[in-house]
């Protein structure tokens, strides 16, 4: 029997975890909590209320993952600080593992990536009572499963990260699917091994668990009920929905429940979905408008495919440029008070006194862009350069390709289908450090 010494060496380098690296991961995890420490409480967002409501009441809340709700309820042992501590630890450990995989045996490179990540958006999103940080973790863990060589327990840990990242938000499903596809294409381009079955199995498991939770909470088996409503609200911003309703309703006033309200549909998705008093809430919000939204969206796309596609591409292009910190750091005290009090009663006073509730946190986030933006832009440039640098290891080049595909896929899913916002892209822009730092280190060594 022969032994593949190269594979054994790669396995040892991927799995090795020296004490200095363990210390660096622990320090980074603590550093990721600095925004929350400065604030005086974990950072919250409007959507945080929906997740906390789902956890407190154990009920289905449209467009809010009950799995993240349960995580927020139990992971921190009734403390919001415990929730973000878990997020920070997972972020530091996963980033370190993937950088270690792409730069085998080099502790200095991994420590450098962890240090650089402390100066990006990652600490802000790890400190957020939101599942956004798991978008980046989903990409990293999928990357590790496809290109890494791990022990059984390490593979199991990465699988758990992928599955929970998927369960935390439905937008992560197309992101992981695109990451797997990008990894397979990258493996073919650069002639490296790609283990795609395991991450695909994680994707299938997460779909099943999502359907299971929805069935238990509502009595009906489904994966997602809000997609058509979100697409409707997005297309309303283009004016195509209003034009279609005018034409259809003039011919047949009973064609849709929305015919009565066609002059009151705002060209702003957030106004339509979240502002009380709009027709969306009068005719049954998510459930009441679902079928009409589906019919109108299909009608618009069928009759105006070019205009709808151009509008989607416009959103995609705009989303690519939105990578600044600051969105979501304003005060939401009037909206979240009762859910914070119900979920974390012992910390309610600290939440009320936090900088965010007095609108003092947002300027600090904007200031952080002076460091965050140069680092992530340099990371994007190095990752893109890695595609063409023949002196780099093929696995690293394939990883660069995969990360860029995931970045583009996220911009399309969020910008084209939901509407461009800074937080959608900045939530995972820090992932480029996993490839950029190993690329920079490899180029320096070869020089």
Residues 6+ apart with CB under 8 A from 28: 92, 95, 96, 114, 115, 117, 118
End-to-end CA, the chain: 40
What pLDDT, on a 0 to 100 scale, did the predictor assign at position 251? 82
Q: What is the pTM of this model?
A: 0.91
What is the Cα–Cα distance from 159 to 138, expressed in whole angstroms?
Answer: 10
What pLDDT, on a 0 to 100 scale, did the predictor assign at position 16? 64
Residues 6+ apart with CB under 8 A from 169: 65, 68, 131, 132, 134, 135
What pLDDT, on a 0 to 100 scale, did the predictor assign at position 212? 96
- In order along its 447 residues, the chain shows pLDDT tens digits of 343 444 445 545 555 678 889 999 999 999 999 999 999 999 999 888 888 888 877 888 888 899 999 998 888 777 999 999 999 999 999 999 999 999 987 899 999 999 999 999 999 999 999 999 999 999 999 999 999 989 999 999 999 999 999 999 999 999 999 999 999 999 999 999 999 999 999 999 999 999 999 999 999 999 988 888 888 888 888 888 888 888 888 888 888 888 888 888 877 777 888 777 778 888 888 888 888 889 889 999 998 999 999 999 999 999 999 999 988 888 877 778 888 888 899 999 999 999 999 989 989 999 999 999 999 999 999 999 999 999 999 999 999 999 999 999 999 999 888 888 899 999 999 999 999 999 999 988 776
What pLDDT, on a 0 to 100 scale, did the predictor assign at position 226? 87
What is the Cα–Cα distance from 396 to 385, expressed in whole angstroms?
Answer: 11
What pLDDT, on a 0 to 100 scale, did the predictor assign at position 153? 93
What pLDDT, on a 0 to 100 scale, did the predictor assign at position 15? 58
What is the Cα–Cα distance from 280 to 421, expressed in whole angstroms?
Answer: 22
């Amino acid at each position: 029997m022969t032994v593949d010494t190269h594979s054994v060496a790669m396995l040892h380098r991927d799995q090795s975890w020296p004490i200095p690296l363990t210390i660096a991961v622990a320090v980074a995890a603590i550093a990721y909590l600095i925004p929350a420490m400065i604030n005086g409480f974990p950072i919250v967002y409007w959507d945080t209320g929906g997740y906390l409501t789902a956890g407190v009441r154990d009920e289905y809340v449209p467009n809010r993952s009950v799995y993240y709700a349960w995580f927020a309820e139990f992971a921190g042992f009734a403390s919001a600080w415990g929730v973000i501590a878990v997020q920070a630890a997972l972020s530091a450990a996963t980033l370190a593992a993937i950088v270690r995989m792409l730069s085998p045996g080099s502790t200095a490179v991994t420590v450098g990536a962890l240090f650089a990540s402390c100066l990006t958006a990652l600490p802000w999103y790890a400190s957020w009572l939101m599942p956004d940080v798991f978008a980046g973790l989903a990409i990293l863990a999928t990357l590790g499963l496809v290109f890494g060589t791990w022990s059984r327990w390490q593979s199991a840990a990465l699988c758990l990260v992928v599955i929970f990242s998927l369960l935390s938000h439905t937008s992560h499903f197309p992101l992981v699917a695109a990451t797997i596809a990008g990894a397979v294409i990258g493996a073919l381009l650069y002639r490296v091994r790609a283990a795609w079955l395991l991450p695909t199995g994680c994707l299938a498991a997460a779909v099943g668990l999502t359907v299971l939770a929805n069935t238990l909470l509502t009595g009906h088996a489904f994966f997602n009920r809000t997609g058509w409503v979100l697409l409707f609200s997005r297309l309303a911003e283009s004016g195509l929905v209003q034009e279609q309703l005018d034409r259809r309703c003039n011919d047949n006033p009973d064609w849709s429940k929305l015919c009565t309200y066609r002059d009151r549909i705002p060209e702003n998705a957030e106004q339509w979905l979240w502002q009380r008093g709009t027709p969306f809430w009068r005719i049954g919000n998510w459930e009441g408008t679902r079928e009409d939204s589906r019919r109108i969206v299909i009608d618009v796309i069928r009759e105006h495919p070019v205009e709808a596609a151009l509008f989607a591409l416009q959103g995609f292009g705009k989303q690519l440029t939105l990578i600044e910190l600051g969105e979501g750091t304003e005060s939401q005290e009037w909206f979240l008070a009762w859910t914070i009090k119900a979920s974390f009663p012992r910390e309610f006073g600290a939440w009320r006194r936090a900088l965010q509730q007095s609108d003092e946190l947002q300027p600090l986030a904007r200031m952080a862009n002076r460091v965050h933006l140069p680092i992530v832009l340099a990371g994007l440039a190095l990752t893109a350069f890695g595609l063409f640098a023949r002196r780099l290891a093929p696995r690293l080049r394939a990883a660069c390709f995969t990360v860029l595909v995931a970045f583009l896929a996220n911009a399309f899913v969020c910008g084209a289908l939901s509407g461009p916002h800074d937080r959608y892209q900045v939530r995972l822009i820090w992932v480029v450090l996993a490839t950029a730092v190993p690329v920079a280190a490899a180029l320096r060594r070869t020089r």
